[in-house]
Every structure is written in structure tokens, then in C-alpha cells.
Amino acid sequence: MSETEALLGDLRAEGDELDGLVAGLGGAAWRTATPAPGWTIAHQIAHLAWTDERAVQAAEDPQGFADEVRRAWAAPDAFVDEGAERGAAEPPEVLLRRWREGRERLRRTLAAQPSRARLPWYGPPMSVMSMATARLMETWAHGQDVADALGVPRAPTARLRHVARIGVRARGYAYAARGMEPPADEFRVELTAPDGELWTYGPEDAAQRVTGPALDFCLLVTQRAHRDDLALRAEGPDTDRWLDIAQAFAGPPGKGRAPGQRTGHTVGGTERLVAGSAEHPAGGSPLGGRPAGGAAGGGRVPGGSPSGDPATADPAAGDSAAGGRVPGGSPSGDPATGDSTSGDPATGGSPTGGSPTGGSPPGDRPAGDSAGGDR
């Protein structure tokens, strides 16, 4: 099985898992509010369906997609919500069928693309791997919003490697989005996968590092939880600051979720831990806390969600590391964040790699572009 086939299989599995959460819902349940202000479960699914359709259009009808981009520029602060509103107004059975058909068409469309194809997007063009990963990331993040709304716990899977890789590679973008200069030194990131395997990024001898569960890191970088609710450990002042601002989506920083807003996630402690600091000496208790700042706010980027969009970039194929502006002012595009913690995206140390994805808004509505790198 090729790398693209494996990724598309993961994309299908992510969609199927979310499908299982909503397939049996009654009409009233589709109107359940989610953590994204103003968005119900129907809005979440409608947004995913809309973005999948735009991705297919980008591959099959570039001129028609260019027209969509112009319309987005004409209403940069409204077009994402308008698309979600239209879909959410459809009968649930119609919306569900549309989303199912759209995501299968997207999978077939991406599978049929030449390996080096570049697909137009709201920022710089994206590789097939980037587009697929972006769709997976957004599906996972919006799926988390739906699961949270329903009070249903989800078992983390190895598919999180795609989300984690984007989050690592988007380090520089998180600083740039706030007008800050990123640290010159690389970080070491060591994440414990759902099966106990260790996913590593960055030089082993780095002076500063981040450790913790891969799930918590993914919740952090997609801003689906506040850092204080996650078990992530920062060793060093720069990594501590990074965890406060991390985002895997392109666009303005989101407002983030409030501490304690996410329930049902147990961590080993109740305080933020900065190993080696005067306040928390090395060896202190594990911290708790979901991604700081994670949440429902954010700006809107085309193809994404009101809260930003993971825009992926492929340095080898010429993707811009900073991305171009997209409607809504978000420098989404494909920020490949050249100063990723792992340095070389291809050798970031992840046991399985995974193209940066795009798709999740910060705590709010995930976006379609990832701020991380690309294959």
C-alpha cells in the first residue's frame, strides 16, 4: 500500500468514526449546541461537507474554485458561517447523505490525482498529501466538538500522528501569528501514542522539550481544550511559552477554551508544570491541562472554519512557509513553518510521519488548512 493510499484510508476511517456518532441522531439532537459558539452539530457536519466539496472543486474545476475564492474575498467574515448555515438548514437526513457522498467523492478524487499534483486552495496550492491530511485533521477536530456536545468519550487512535505532526511543524507559525520571533533553537517533542509507542520530533539532545500524551498535544494545537486541563510537560521557558500559544491552524489566534470547559478528561495533576523552573522543580507532579488557549475563537479562513485553518505546505514542492493571505486576513495558505521542532519534516522522528493536516479550528470550528508542513 502506498503512502497516499494509507493516508486516504485514515481519512476514510476518521470520517466513518464521526459518522457513527451522528448517524442515529434524531432531528432535535442535530440542533444540539457544540463548544463552537453559534454552531450546532448540524453546523459542524455542514461545514465539513462544504469544505470537502470545495476540495473536490479545486481538483476537478479549478476555474470554478477560483470564482469561489473571489466570492470569499468579497465576504471574508461571513462566507464560512453562511456555508454552514445553509447546510444546517437542510433536513438531517439530506445533510448526512450529502456529507457521506461528498467525503467519498473527495477520497476518490484525491486517489486519482498524479502524485505531484498541486491543488489550488485559498492560500498557496497544496499537494494531494497535504489536502488529505488537512481534511483528516479538520474531521478529527470537528468530530471532537460533536463528541463533546454529546458527552461521548472517544478512544484516541494512531491517526492522531497526522494531527500531532502538523502541530509540531507549525511551531514557527504560532509565533508569527502573534507577531513574535520564534526561538532560534529547536525543541524536542516526545509524545506517547495511544498504543504506548513514543512519537518523537526534533533533536534528541535539545535543551528544551515537551512531553506528554499525543492526544493532549493534539487537543492543545487544535485548541479543543485549555492547557490547564492537559497532561503536557514543558521543560524550559521557551517550550512553556510555546504551549501557551501553540496552534496547528492558519489564521489569527483563537480565544481558546476556558480552563475546565472540557469534561471527562482525566490527567495526573491540576497544575501547569514547567520542569526545572523555580516554581515547579524538575520531577514535580505531572501537569494537567488541555491546550492553553484552545478554543472557540479565532478568525475565519476559507475552506476552514471560523477559527482558522490548518494550511499545509510542501517545502519540497515549493509551498510557501508562510503562506499567502486568504479571505479573512488569515495568512493561511500552506505555512510549512520552516523552523519546525523537528527541523526536517521528513525526518522529524515520528514513527509514522503523517502529512500535516488541515483542518481544525481552535476550539471552535476547525479550519481546512493546516499551519503545519506538508509531505
Please tell me which residue, 263 or 165, carries the higher pLDDT value: 165
Q: And the C-alpha cell for 350?
A: 515520528
Beta strand segments in the chain, E: 118-119, 126-127, 188-192, 198-201, 209-213, 233-235, 274-275
Checking if the pLDDT of 184 tops 70, the result is yes
Q: How confident is the model at residue 361 (pLDDT cuts 50, 70, 90)?
A: very low
Q: How confident is the model at residue 256 (pLDDT cuts 50, 70, 90)?
A: confident
Mean pLDDT of the chain: 77
> Which are the contacts of 174, defined by CB distance < 8 A and separation ≥ 6?
182, 242, 245, 246, 247, 253, 371
Checking if the pLDDT of 249 tops 50, the result is yes
The pLDDT score that the predictor gives to residue 333 is 31
Checking if the pLDDT of 346 tops 80, the result is no
Please tell me which residue, 74 or 326, carries the higher pLDDT value: 74
Please tell me which residue, 265 or 155, carries the higher pLDDT value: 155
Checking if the pLDDT of 318 tops 80, the result is no
CATH homologous superfamily for the domain 3-159? dinb family like domain (1.20.120.450)
Q: Are 357 and 313 in contact (CB under 8 A)?
A: no
Checking if the pLDDT of 317 tops 80, the result is no
The pLDDT score that the predictor gives to residue 370 is 56
Q: What are phi and psi of 71, to 5 degrees?
A: -65, -35
Q: How confident is the model at residue 255 (pLDDT cuts 50, 70, 90)?
A: confident
Give me the mean pLDDT over the 302-323 stretch.
Answer: 35
Checking if the pLDDT of 227 tops 50, the result is yes
In whole angstroms, give the CA distance from residue 265 to residue 28: 27
**What are 150-181's pLDDT values in tens digits?**
999 999 999 999 999 989 999 999 999 999 99
Strands 118-119 and 274-275, bridge-based pairing: unpaired
Q: How confident is the model at residue 358 (pLDDT cuts 50, 70, 90)?
A: very low
Checking if the pLDDT of 112 tops 80, the result is yes
Q: Which of 123, 179, 175 is nearest to 304 (CA)?
A: 123
Would you call 170 helix, strand, or coil by DSSP?
coil
Give me the mean pLDDT over the 125-151 stretch.
Answer: 95
> Which are the contacts of 182, defined by CB distance < 8 A and separation ≥ 6?
171, 172, 174, 175, 176, 339
Q: And the C-alpha cell for 53?
A: 466539496
In whole angstroms, give the CA distance from residue 80 to residue 76: 8
Measure Cα distances from 269 to 98, 154, 283, 290 in Å: 43, 21, 13, 12
Q: Check the CA dihedral 65-303-322-58 and report its sign.
A: negative
Checking if the pLDDT of 264 tops 90, the result is no
Q: How confident is the model at residue 262 (pLDDT cuts 50, 70, 90)?
A: low
**What are 25-71's pLDDT values in tens digits?**
999 999 999 999 999 999 999 999 999 999 999 999 999 999 999 99
